Structure 1
Amino acid sequence: MSNAMPSTDAAAMPPRPFRAPAPVPHSEPLSFFGFIRTATRNPIEIWGTRAFKEPYVVGKWLGVPNIVLNEPRAVRHVHVENPKNYVMQPLRQRLLRPLLRDGLLTAEGQLWRRTRKAIAPVFTPRHIAGFTEPMAARCENAAERLRGMAGQTVDISHETTLLTFDILQATLFSDDIESEPNEFARSTAQFLGSMGRVDPLDLLGAPDFLPRIRRLRGRKSMLYFRSMIAETIVKRQRQMEKDPNGVPPDLLTLLLKADGLSRDEIEDNIITFIGAGHETTARSLAWTFYLLSQAPDELRKVEEEIDRVLPTLDHPSQYLDALPRTRAVFEESMRLYPPAASLNRTALRPDRIGDLEIPAGSTVLVMPWLIHRHEMLWDRPDHFIPDRFMPENREKLDRYQYLPFGVGPRICIGASFALQEAVIALAILMRSLRFEFAGSKQPSVIQRITIQPEDGLPMTIRER
């Protein structure tokens, strides 16, 4: 009788998926002052274990009911079936409006509908397909520049910010925005870092006229953006006066031609797209490179797909459909680190979802950060498993358990643009480059406007 144990040879065992870094949920409720301290430092640290296990979590803050919805059918009810009953949460608007003012992200009612209608033509499938060539050209330029930096360690978040701004410049503004790239990246980081900081006065419901010290630093970058945009608008208006048929049909032209949008509203929307629109893709790309650096088997699969498929394609508009593995790693990255961490609303009138009563005035919290890592919805929710988003598995997902671009009427207008951009960027950069994580410890994860690493993502550039 043999006493031999079953083989545990590494080659015979499937690789263990990488557990993506995240704050550890607390097991006990936070005290009043503990909540304020935690929410102002890093909002995603306020969540306890219940929020990742239960379909609903009900509580109160300063007497106002707070209801966390994690169940997909509840998300559908609030954002799709009855959206007119749920308006932007006041705290969200306090954070965003001082800098974005009446941009598409913060506008409501008739202004939002008018703006969305004006912008929509630039994000049709035909237009987005036309953007893929300049997207690819800018990615090729970035790949060449990074190959020249082989062996150096860089913050990959900074590099992806430079790339996505370059793509935004080329596609939505036809290279009419004049800005030094590194200065732009620094100003963007300061702008969004300030805009995304929760101040204790916000949590206590203090009047808006009281200054929020944490956000004062963002005013300098806001002035930088507005000065840059004012020059861009004047330049384009002169082009339109000189040759109305010769200007490019891009986002800037559509905004200037839109009925009913004031000069300030046009500026607000350009700032929204420059300051926030490209940032979500930049962060998601950076997280994707980091996750792949920690998952060698997944990295090998993506590189194999790119090496095999890319030479057979005639045009970058084909990349998204032809590279399902590359798309899957990006989508899994957005699950673990969602671009939109919260989609919170305030109930105007009483409502009911199944047995759950929602009183008028309640804060209704739909948090992709929670839903994307919820034990009820995902197997091994904290692990990097791109197979979830391969075509044969993606169709099994509930539409309302994965919300990287939001949901309902206010879903991100640039979602298709961002997916095309990301897959093209990954394919072109990874064709010749590899990025190795160079941090001494795993990154600390914080929430500002986006989910981001607290101290950047240091990565060493290697040529393949």
Structure 2
Amino acid sequence: MDMRLDPFVPPAPLPRTVPPSRLEVIRTVLRNPLELWGVPSYTLPWIKTKFFKERTLIVNDPGLIRYVLVDSAANYEMSEIRQLILRPILRDGLLTAEGPVWKRSRKAMAPVFTPRHSRGFAGQMLAKSEEYAEKYTTVGTGGAIHDISVDMTEMAYSILSETLFSGQIVTQSNSFSDDVDNLLHRMGRVDPMDLLRAPPWVPRLTRIGGRKVLEKFRNIVADTMRLRQKRMRETPDDVPQDFLTLLLQLEGPNGLSLDEIEDNILTFIGAGHETTARALAWTLYCVAHSPHVREAMEKEIDQVLATGAEPVEWLELMPWVRASFEEAMRLYPPAPSLNRAAITDDRWVSPSGESIEIEAGTTILVMPWTLHRHELYWEKPRAFMPERFLPENRGKIGRFQYLPFGAGPRTCIGATFAMQEAVIALAVLMKRYRFDALPGTEIWPVQKLTTQPRDGMPMRVSLRS
């Protein structure tokens, strides 16, 4: 591994050295949960504590993480507070459904997201990336300022719309990124009533402003479904065999209800591209502060594209591009927390023989945010060092110490899709342009549904010389 003395350390909250008061916990959770965690969360394998009189187990030990998410997954359901936040938005979408509904949905969508099928989307990903890259053609060598957070949201939406919905989502894309940001800001945040475990019918004042944009999203999905159903009836031989058609074909008593189909389409429109978009933006930001990484990526991109290699091969042929994206997801995981709750009493025994009793009802916090920055498992954990993920080094990274896509039965169904999309998008953008940070601009990560920059990510985009 390249042990440089001064790798870039991107902005992030420092671990707390003094435990917060009860009132401060509430304020911090409402403002930015990433600022809540103290030194023990970054140094200990697990912590037993209480939040609002509820037993909580914060888990960083990879063995215990595997036990909760894989070996004993049936005993750990989605936590109540997570569902109180997400279910009002996604209802029975794949991220929030449980039991038979989740099993039906997961089984239905699995064929679309197999590695083989995902590779089939490479050409469309390349075409939409190149189309979006044209947005920057007028920047010149002097450059122009763009909010890269917004741009990557628009670009990822364009790719998802084309690959999974054949470009037939009924919406106006010029306002889409603003709508997504508004939805996540208003709806995808903790409300005081969530912390108090108030039932769903109790109004969440912090989310009232998000109802209109949620209704707008629901209308977009309903219109998209009606348009495709009409086409399926009138011209059945001329219907795209994509994700949207597949879901609609599953409608029926032994498949998915129309409501469940709507929920899953909304999940992929709203959340399916959001995670990739945030990770792309953080990658460009970190690379802008790491000249040796950018040089390695540009050299690699130029060499691979000069050979005429097909885009489906880029993921394997561009290890520096892939490693930089993976390192950005380590530092800024798209899903910063994975929350579960124990259904029955349980017990885990570590390899050293130490046992942990887990009582029924205990909230389990598996947090990629702290796990990925943990001093027990990472060298220079706060530094941006893509070298960790190069082929010669990645074997040292344990499966359960790096969780950008989760793990176990509920691991992200679109992981291969997202990785391929990211490498193609980065290669297209960085072949033609330079993305530079603006001096004096403070970029600060906040946790909403994803890890995103608080006030956007203005950067200077210029043509490569």
Give the CA deviation at 1:248. Answer: 1.4
Match of 1:292 in 2: 287
How many Å separate the matches in 2 of 1:313 and 1:405?
31
1:221 aligns with 2:216: no
1:64-88 per-residue CA deviation (whole Å, 9 max, x = no partner) reads: 2100010000000001000010000
CA shift, 1:313, in A, is 3.3
- Identify which range, 142-151 or 42-51, moves more after superposition: 142-151
Separation of aligned partners in 1, 2:4 and 2:449? 37
Counterparts of 1:315-326 in structure 2, within 5 Å, are 315-326=310-321
Q: CA deviation at 1:25?
A: 1.3
Q: Does residue 267 of structure 1 match 2:257?
A: no
TM alignment of 1:236-255, pairs within 5 A: 236-255=228-247
Residue 33 of structure 1 aligns to a residue in which SS?
A: helix
Superposition map of 1:45-444 within 5 A: 45-150=35-140, 151-258=143-250, 259-354=254-349, 355-438=355-438, 440-444=440-444
Measure, in 2, the Cα distance between the counterparts of 1:301 and 1:31: 46
**1-side partners of 2:102 and 2:295: how far apart?**
44
Shift of 1:439: 5.4
Cα distance in 2 for residues equivalent to 1:54 and 1:149: 48
CA contact (8 A) 1:15 1:297 kept: no
Equivalent-residue separation in structure 2 for 1:382 and 1:63 (angstroms): 32
C-alpha RMSD of matched pairs (Å): 1.2
1:308 Cα deviation after fit? 1.4
Q: Which runs of 4+ in 1 moved over 4 A?
A: none
- Structure 1: gaps of 5 or more residues: 1-12
User: Within 1, Cα distance between the matches of 2:27 and 2:381?
Assistant: 27
Match of 2:352 in 1: none
**Equivalent residues in 2 for 1:12-51, closer than 5 Å:** 14=4, 16-51=6-41
Deviation, structure 1 residue 110:
0.4
Pairwise CA distance, 1:15: 5.7
Q: Which moved more, 1:305-314 or 1:288-297?
A: 305-314
Check whether the contact 1:334–1:404 (CA below 8 A) recurs between aligned residues.
Answer: yes
Q: Tell me the CA shift for residue 215 of structure 1.
A: 1.1
Once the two structures are TM-superposed, the CA of residue 227 in structure 1 deviates from its matched residue by 1.1
2:218 and 2:196 map into 1 onto residues whose CA distance is 30
TM-superposed deviation, 1:310: 1.6
String of CA shifts for 1:109-148, please: whole Å, max 9, x gaps: 0000000111111112232122111100011111122122
- 1:105 Cα shift? 0.4
On the 8 A contact 1:25/1:48 being kept in 2, the answer is: yes
TM-score by length of 1: 0.95
Query: What does residue 445 of structure 1 align with?
Result: 445
Q: Alpha-carbon deviations, 1:231-264, whole Å to 9, x = none?
A: 1111111111123333112110111011421111
Contact 2:336 2:369 in 1 (8 A): yes
The Cα shift of 1:314 comes to 3.0
For the residue of structure 2 that corresponds to 1:153, the secondary structure is strand
Stretches of structure 2 that go unaligned for 5 or more consecutive residues are: 350-354
